[in-house]
A and B are shown apart, each in its own frame.
Chain A
Amino acid sequence: MHDDATAQQSQTTHTVPYSQYVLIWFGLLALTALTVSLAGIELGRWVIITALTIASIKSLLVLNIFMHLRFEDRVFRMFALVAFVTLVIFLVLTFFDYAFH
């Protein structure tokens, strides 16, 4: 019974209008254009932070909208969070080298 309800819920909530996909796609293209344009501006040490912030927003959009993470059980969102936190830790540690050159 519970499984049926879960299956039904996942069936219904997975329907996303195409317009939303197209909108997000344009959003991703705009963010890509922003990254490329910012690459031409001298931002000093902010360049990495800016690029990574834009990349993170793009990843969140892809994960939530295209990969349907927002419709998934909490356990899947937890797994994605673990991977994200791991990535952040790796980046921070790497910048103990680059930021102090």
Chain B
Amino acid sequence: MTQATVSAGARSRGFYGEKGKYSGIRGWIFSTDHKRIGLLYLVSMAGFFLLAVTFGVLMRLEMLSPGKTIMEPQTYNTLFTLHGIMMIFLFIIPGLPAVFGNFLLPLLIGARDVFFPRLNLLSWWLFITGGLLALVSVFLPGGAADTGWTFYVPYSIRTNTNVLPALFAAFILGFSSILTGLNFITTIHRMRAPGMGWFRMPLFVWSLYATAWIQVLATPIIGITLLLVALERWFGVGIFDPALGGDPVLYQHLFWIYSHPAVYIMILPGLGVASEILPVFARRTIFGYKFIAFSSVAIAGLGSLVWAHHMFTVGMSYTGMFVFSLLTFLVSIPSAIKIFNWIATLYKGSIVLDVPLLFILSFIVQFSIGGFTGLMLGALAVNIHVQDTYFVVGHFHYVMFGGTGFALFAAIHYWFPKMFGKMYRKGPAVLSWILATLGFNTLYMPFFFLGYMGMPRRYYDYLPEYQSFHVIATVGSWILVLGIIIMIVNLLYALKKGAPALANPWGGKTLEWTVPSPPPTENFATIPVVTTGPYDFSEYEQRPAEHS
């Protein structure tokens, strides 16, 4: 590809140059263009992410030595609560669907926008309202909530901290999530380009579709549950508090009926990103397209049925424990199907080790470690030993950060040229990948050992024998943060001074690469007609045969 093929869009600023009804910031916050809304999410989410990372780093600094290091116990409780709420509700859940789903879904299926553009904008407004409410709750009299992101009763009913604003923040964010899910389901059903049957959809779209169903079906349950906690705090209705005749285990059931599927809201789009990037950089048609597509749906379905594995030590019936342990093991099957298909895609591929693929390779290894430790936790006997220890914290950080977080890093490096029409520098991006991978594993691998040794999660203090692992983990957090800073600086620099991006810098085959970078306002001058599957790399795959 030569400079002559640099898209006209890159020179004309694409949708950035649109003269709409409003200008300046109002041109963004009142825009119904899916691309602008995706970028609004990106900017707001990045802000929440950096704040939550800061909280995380401060917590690790506190754990550098036993006893007080830099903060009081109450501050520590507040920090892990805010870190959890912000990372989960404001970063990981909306992360891939709201940013990349919004920006790319219409482009991937050959549409000009989502089905309900105004509803889409409302989703962002709800998101930002919920996010700001969570932040405001920190500064209100009474202090920030200290319940952990799970709001477990009866403590969340009795604590005098600002639990209610935090609950309402989560409630509002839930609405944002439901509306986004509804929008995506309708868009995928109704707006695919002519010729794009279900099995010609890019796999990221399949993963967004499965995610959207969970968002629509499971999120209302957490909304109602949080409202019930609010009712109990306000009026003393005995629903969950045993002192009032309520059942605290019922709260845990209701909370996890949503919050476990929410884990799949977080990871499924990440799995979709991997399926999108791997064939492009392996120059191979993806192996087992239908298996990967159906495994997304299977993960969404089965993943919604495993919630009580969070509750093996609360006194559930043995039948319940058996059933939920069995279901937990079953959900690993579609997850493993994906991993095997990705590896098979790489096999004999013409692999180009570029930045997005590097992040995806880290993702596969880290997600596998997260998955396997998840199976260990799903086994009843092991679970009782490591329940509520650092082992659990290590497990979900390997899935959420090592998995989804790294998929998000891969996605931003893969689609950055399309979204902004600029190329970033490869050297610093590779350096950021090395540091992020090294830092991540140095930070979270010791958690498994700490947990196995008995270090409980959310404890401010610890016995001296745990210190060496805590020190290693804290040093890891510094390396990881350095990697993230280099990544952000590199991308911001590219925004300002990056070379113009080609329309298709990676040689991708999906529809977003057929339009200029950045895309024009209406995406496609004429709606494309799809005649092949999304990963047709037959020209590369035939090459060895030609030489033989």
Q: Footprint of B on A, CB under 8 Å?
A: 82-83, 86, 89-90, 93-94, 96-101
Contacts and interface: CB of A to CB of B under 8 A. Distances in A.
B253 A97 contact: yes
Contacts of A99: 317, 319
The residue among A83, A94, A96 with the most chain B CB atoms within 10 A of its own CB is A96
Contacts of A90: 221, 257
A90 B221 CA distance: 10
Interface of B: 217, 221, 249, 253, 257, 304-305, 308, 316-320, 323-324
A85 B431 CA distance: 49
B305 A97 contact: no
B274 to A, nearest CB: 28
Contacts of B249: 97
B97 to A, nearest CB: 20
19 contacts: A83-B217, A86-B304, A89-B305, A93-B305, A93-B308, A93-B323, A93-B324, A96-B317, A96-B319, A96-B324, A97-B253, A97-B316, A97-B317, A98-B317, A99-B317, A100-B317, A100-B319, A100-B320, A101-B317
Contacts of A98: 317
Main secondary structure of the interface of A (DSSP, over half): helix
A33 B304 CA distance: 35
> 5 nearest interchain CB pairs?
A97-B320, A100-B317, A100-B319, A96-B320, A96-B323
A96 to B, nearest CB: 4
Contacts, number: 34
B460 to A, nearest CB: 32
The residue among B253, B316, B320 with the most chain A CB atoms within 10 A of its own CB is B320
A100 B321 CA distance: 10
A72 to B, nearest CB: 15
Contacts of B324: 93, 96
A92 B149 CA distance: 27
Given A93-B308, A96-B319, A97-B308, 10 more contacts: A86-B217, A90-B257, A93-B323, A96-B317, A96-B320, A97-B317, A97-B319, A97-B320, A100-B317, A100-B318
Contacts of B257: 90, 94
Nearest to B247: A98
Nearest to B249: A97
Contacts of A96: 317, 319-320, 323-324
Nearest to B308: A97
A81 to B, nearest CB: 12
A97 B317 CA distance: 5
A37 to B, nearest CB: 19
Given A93-B305, A94-B253, A82 B217 contact: yes
The residue among A82, A86, A93 with the most chain B CB atoms within 10 A of its own CB is A93
Contacts of A83: 217
Nearest to B218: A86
A72 B316 CA distance: 42
Contacts of B316: 97
A101 B253 CA distance: 15
B312 to A, nearest CB: 11
A90 B323 CA distance: 13
Nearest to B257: A90
A83 B221 CA distance: 11
A93 B257 CA distance: 10
Nearest to B185: A79
The residue among A83, A90, A98, A101 with the most chain B CB atoms within 10 A of its own CB is A90
